[in-house]
Every structure is written in structure tokens, then in C-alpha cells.
């Protein structure tokens, strides 16, 4: 990997494809350079663990209920949270180009969930999605359409 990475090609591919699958070196640290480049390009960013999301449609774009752990004699309560991505898009800073949702540990997502993320970027143009799909020797990426076609 080069000592200095501008990330221009990566940012261009994210902007044109909307949803990108990335393969990062397992020792870590390399993806941080690209995260900084995305923020420097004018995007707001969110970093989320993919397995912890649950139902993508309700978590990202719909009001969803969350139940905290039940501890003994407490009553079981449900708290309703606003849509994760929709709320962030509504409250973007005025100078932001858009929102990049970076999902790490994305190899646990199913093909249908990856297809949903790809379609979500088509319906909401200000949203871009980057999904970490596994390890590689170098930081590399593919549009999510190419990843889904290969499966």
C-alpha cells in the first residue's frame, strides 16, 4: 500500500455507485485513512456494526422499538426510536454533501440485506453506503452491484 493515499478514486466510486463493498487488511488501520478522506470530502459519517442492526428497513428508515434487558422485577418496557439514517439525513449540516453509512463486519449480512442497502442508496440520493465484506492484503473495493452479481 502506498505511503500517501489521496482516496480520490475511492470517493469517486462511492459517489457514482452509491453502495460499495470493501475488503480491508485484517491487521486494521488502513480503512481509517479512507474514512478520514470521506469526511474531508464533505460527507457526514456514521460507523455501525452490521450484525447488531437487526432488521435493516425498520432500523434505518422506520420508527422501531427497542427493549432494554429485563432485570428481575422491572416491568418490560419498549422504547421507540427514530429512524437511524432518516433522522441523520434530516439533520445534516448545511455544507455537507451527504451521509456515508460505514458498516463494519458486513460479511454477516445476507444477499437480500446487501441488495436492500444498494436499493436504499438509489431511493435516497444523499446516502452512500460502505460495507466491509472481508479481509484482503490491500484495501480494495467493488460496487455492491458487482458483489451481488458474483454471488
Q: Which sequence spans correspond to the domains of the chain?
A: 8-150
- 8-150 — its CATH code? 3.40.50
Q: Are 9 and 37 in contact (CB under 8 A)?
A: no
CA distances from 59 to 5, 7, 31, 42, 118 (A): 34, 30, 25, 25, 16
Q: pTM of whole model > 0.85?
A: yes
Q: Are 38 and 32 in contact (CB under 8 A)?
A: no
State how far the Cα of 44 lies from the Cα of 56, in Å rounded to an integer: 20
Mean pLDDT of 118-129: 94
Mean pLDDT over the full length of the chain? 88
Predicted pLDDT at 20: 96
State how far the Cα of 3 lies from the Cα of 75, in Å rounded to an integer: 55
The model's confidence at residue 129, banded by pLDDT at 50, 70 and 90, is: very high
Q: Does residue 4 surpass a pLDDT of 60? A: no
Q: Are 14 and 128 in contact (CB under 8 A)?
A: yes
Predicted pLDDT at 13: 93
pLDDT in tens, 21-77: 999 988 877 788 889 999 999 999 999 998 878 888 889 999 988 888 878 777 888
Predicted pLDDT at 126: 94
DSSP 84-146: HHHHHHHT--TT--EEEEEEESGGGS-HHHHHHHHHHHHHSTTEEEEEEEEE-SS-EEEEHHH
CA distances from 70 to 16, 26, 74 (A): 45, 36, 7
Amino acid at each position: 500500500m502506498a505511503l500517501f493515499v489521496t482516496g480520490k478514486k475511492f470517493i469517486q466510486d462511492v459517489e457514482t455507485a452509491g453502495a460499495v463493498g470493501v475488503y480491508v487488511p485484517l491487521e486494521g488501520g488502513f480503512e481509517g485513512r479512507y474514512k478520514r478522506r470521506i469526511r474531508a470530502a464533505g460527507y457526514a459519517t456514521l460507523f455501525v456494526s452490521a450484525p447488531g442492526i437487526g432488521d435493516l428497513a425498520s432500523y434505518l428508515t422506520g420508527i422501531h422499538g427497542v427493549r432494554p434487558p429485563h432485570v428481575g422485577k422491572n416491568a418490560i418496557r419498549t422504547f421507540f426510536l427514530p429512524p437511524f439514517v432518516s433522522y441523520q439525513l434530516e439533520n445534516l449540516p448545511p455544507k455537507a454533501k451527504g451521509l456515508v453509512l460505514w458498516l463494519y463486519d458486513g460479511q454477516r449480512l445476507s444477499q437480500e440485506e446487501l441488495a436492500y442497502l444498494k436499493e436504499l442508496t438509489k431511493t435516497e440520493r444523499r446516502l452512500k453506503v460502505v460495507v466491509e465484506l472481508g479481509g484482503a492484503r490491500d484495501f480494495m473495493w467493488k460496487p455492491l452491484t458487482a458483489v451481488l452479481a458474483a454471488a
